[in-house]
Amino acid sequence: MDSTSYTLAEIIKRTRAKELSFTELTDEYLARIDKRNGELHAFLSVDAEGARNAASAADVAFNAEEASPLFGVPVAVKDAILVDGAPCTAGSKMLEHYIAPYDATVMVNLKRVGAFSLGKTNMDEFAMGSSTEHSAFGPTKNPHDPTRVPGGSSGGSAAAVAAGLAPLALGSDTGGSIRQPAAFCGVVGFKPTYGAISRFGLIAMASSLDQIGTFTRTVEDVKLVAPYLFGRDDNDATTQDIPELAELPDPKSITIGILKEGFGEGVHEGMKTNLLSAIAAYEKMGVTIKEISIPHLKYSLPVYYIIMPSEVSSNMTRYDGIRYGLDGPGQQEDNLLGYYLHNRREGIGEEVRRRIMLGTYTLSAGYYDAYYARAQKVRTLIKQDFENAFNEVDIIAAPTTPTPPFKFGEKMDDPLEMYLSDVYTVSANLAGVPAISIPAGTVEEGGMALPVGLQLIGPHKQDYRLLEVASWLERTQGPNPKS
């Protein structure tokens, strides 16, 4: 077993025991990336030199008593998050040559405690998609079965952690883009409360839904890193403090609500068995289990597909070749509009275009009230449903996805089918509440063992309690091996 099999907690133990140096650790990850990335395409760019320099500086500066859990740790970073001096393409041709001029706040926070970027990971273009098939640079493969998608949009980050190419990865989740790929790749994916982690330096998709979060092999590892990522930021007025736990909860004091709508038709039968046995494990610990309903849940996907494209259409206007983006193609045009159109035509892919058109329509004077304003009202109802549910239970349990990872090409011709992968994840973004996907065994399909994810959703700002409850299940089953 080499170090790329270790969880972050094991890395901490071994580096403190001087059994492993940060240089050795980073070299082993780089060697594994060399070996696997050609096939998996999890990373779009790797900063081997920067990572080696940071690791050797960490070896020199290491002080075991004072070092944070993140000290000397190489991190895979979704290519929508700015890392000073590194490419940041957001999976788009539009930003193919863009070099980030500063660090996102989340990177500032990581670097402050001694972590560093290993490289930038593949994603659907501007984070729009559920499979990485919408990346302008080609898809990422699922390490559990290379004929299947890793999920998306943060598929590169999920695959990197699952395949042992990094111990920790950052992603962003607007409607499920951390939890869904985590479920598909058999790792832990955590989307905190909206505003827990600064969005400054994250390339915006839909600003009222976007949230940065993590991929790790265990929930214990999330608990180690979350306090260093959370916090208010003057550069992001929507950030808020997440209170620490006053005392550790006892299983007997916790009630988990099983989301009734999540266990009906449309959910893969084999997966249901896995999810119910995870719930049974909680019951055995003394947790109270009851059924709960989110009556407006059935509207969450339609509401998401109105609010999200509306915000996308507005956020995407900056890619015109002057403010940001390709400025080559349009130069042959002799008027400004032609210049913009030409740059955008060359730079922006089909799925992003589809959403810009949808959003422009839903925000237009004639249709604003019928679509956008109405969707906002239903969003409030969904939020209220969650508040009501959390008056009765502490945590809600649901599937992360309705199916195991699907095959490449399976949903590319039918956008609505693709959108359905997010049916259980988007509501947490609409309500702004924290949610996590944790591994719940595998189901067999086509002779392959495919990962299943259990989603746990918590009340607003109760991220630490959610992580605590999630970690109980892990203690009964241990982390998944890397694939």
Q: What are the catalytic residues? A: 78, 153, 177
Q: H or E stretch including 173? A: strand 168-173
SS3 of 239-302: the string is CCCCCCCCCCCCHHHCEEEEEHHHHCCCCCHHHHHHHHHHHHHHHHHCCEEEEECCHHHHHHHH
Q: For the chain, how many residues are written?
A: 483
Q: Which helix (H) or strand (E) holds 350?
A: helix 350-363
Q: Is 174 in the site for ligand GLN (CB under 6 A)?
A: yes
Q: Which part of the chain contacts ligand GLN (CB under 6 A), choosing from 30-38, 169-177, 246-254, 432-440?
A: 169-177
CB of 174 to ligand GLN, least distance (A): 3
Instruction: Name the region of 151 (left: φ>0; alpha: ψ -120 to 50; beta: rest).
Output: left
| Residues 267-306: x where in contact with ligand GLN by CB under 6 A, - otherwise, as a string | ----------------------------------------
Q: Is 422 in the site for ligand GLN (CB under 6 A)?
A: yes
Contact between 129 and ligand GLN by CB under 6 A: the answer reads yes
Give the C-alpha separation, 474 to 438, whole Å: 8
By C-beta, is 164 or 175 nearer to ligand GLN?
175
- Residues 72-109 as b/e (b if ≥16 CB within 10 A, e otherwise) read bbbbbbbbbbbbbebbbbbbbbbbbebebeebbbbbbb
Q: Which stretch binds ligand GLN (CB under 6 A): 12-20, 171-179, 245-253, 391-399?
A: 171-179
Which of 4, 105, 117, 177 touches ligand GLN by CB under 6 A? 177
Contacting ligand GLN (CB under 6 A), which of 58, 86, 128, 225? 128
Name residues whose C-beta falls within 8 Å of residue 44's C-beta, 6 or more positions apart in sequence: 79, 87, 89, 91, 119, 120, 121, 122, 137, 156
Least CB distance to ligand GLN at residue 365 (A)? 25
Instruction: Tell me the residue number closest to ligand GLN, measured at CB.
Output: 177
Q: Would you count residue 325 as binding ligand GLN (CB under 6 A)? A: no
Q: Work out whether 175 is an interface residue with ligand GLN (CB under 6 A).
A: yes
116, 84 Cβ separation under 8 angstroms? no
Asked if residue 311 binds ligand GLN (CB under 6 A), the reply is no
d(CA 157, CA 167): 10
Closest approach of ligand GLN to the CB of residue 87, in Å: 20
Sole binder of ligand GLN in the list 11, 55, 73, 127 (CB under 6 A): 127
Of residues 20 and 418, the one with the C-beta less far from ligand GLN: 418
Contact assessment for residue 90 and residue 204, using Cβ atoms and an 8 Å cutoff = no
403 binds ligand GLN, rule: CB under 6 A: no
CB-side neighbour CA atoms (13 Å) of 33: 28
Applying CB under 6 A, which part among 170-178, 244-252, 330-338, 464-472 lies near ligand GLN?
Answer: 170-178
Per CB under 6 A, does 189 bind ligand GLN?
Answer: no
Q: Which residues pair with 240 in a beta bridge?
A: none
Binding segment for ligand GLN (CB under 6 A), chosen from 127-135, 223-231, 444-452, 458-466, is: 127-135
Q: Is 349 in the site for ligand GLN (CB under 6 A)?
A: no
By CB under 6 A, name the one of 133, 173, 261, 468 that touches ligand GLN: 173
Nearer to ligand GLN, 131 or 442 (CB): 131
CA atoms within 13 A on the CB side of 385: 21
Who's near 62: CB < 8 A, 6+ residues apart?
15, 22, 71, 72
Beta pairing class for 74-78 and 116-121 = parallel
Where do the DSSP E strands lie in 352-470?
Answer: 395-399, 435-445, 448-457
362 binds ligand GLN (CB under 6 A): no
| 60/416 with CB nearer ligand GLN | 416
Buried b (16+ CB within 10 A) or exposed e, 1-13: eebbebbbbbbbe
Per CB under 6 A, which of residues 142..161 are in contact with ligand GLN?
A: 153
Q: Which of 20, 88, 162, 205 lies at the binding interface for ligand GLN (CB under 6 A)?
A: 205
Q: Is 458 in the site for ligand GLN (CB under 6 A)?
A: no
The pairing of beta strand 435-445 with beta strand 448-457: antiparallel
Q: How many residues bind ligand GLN (CB under 6 A)?
A: 13
Which residues make up the interface to ligand GLN (CB under 6 A)? Answer: 127-130, 153, 173-177, 205, 308, 422
